[in-house]
Amino acid sequence: MIRVKDPLSNTITLTKKCWINHILKEHPEMESFYNELRDTIKEPEYIFKSKISKNSRLYFKGYLHPKYGHFYIMAVVDCKEHKKIGYIKTSFLVYNLKKGGELLWKR
């Protein structure tokens, strides 16, 4: 469904199964933000190491929406750095960067 390069030259993928069976089920508000999710990976404002999982990276990009106000789309990506690939595990709207751990990259 999505396969893009991030700013760190990793190829990041979102599978149809993850999009339908996890993201849309757990975070139905994401349905109208598919393109923004792709852009969040391709052109993030921030990439952090996860505080919870050493192999996960958190991608953030800010947006403004009439219903939700100013928010970030956060995408959680399971990274295999030695292979320069990653897979989106989940994504949802957040209103701050508190979930981020160590900052890896900033636009």
Contacts 24+ apart (CB under 8 A), 51-60: 51/99, 51/100, 51/101, 53/78, 55/79, 55/80, 56/89, 57/86, 57/104, 58/99, 58/100, 58/101, 59/6, 60/94, 60/97, 60/100
Digit-by-digit pLDDT tens for the chain (107 residues) are 899 999 999 999 999 999 999 999 999 999 999 999 999 999 999 999 999 888 999 999 999 999 999 999 999 999 987 789 999 999 999 999 988 889 999 99
DSSP letter string over 9-31? S-EEEE-HHHIIIIIHHH-GGGG
Read off the pTM: 0.95
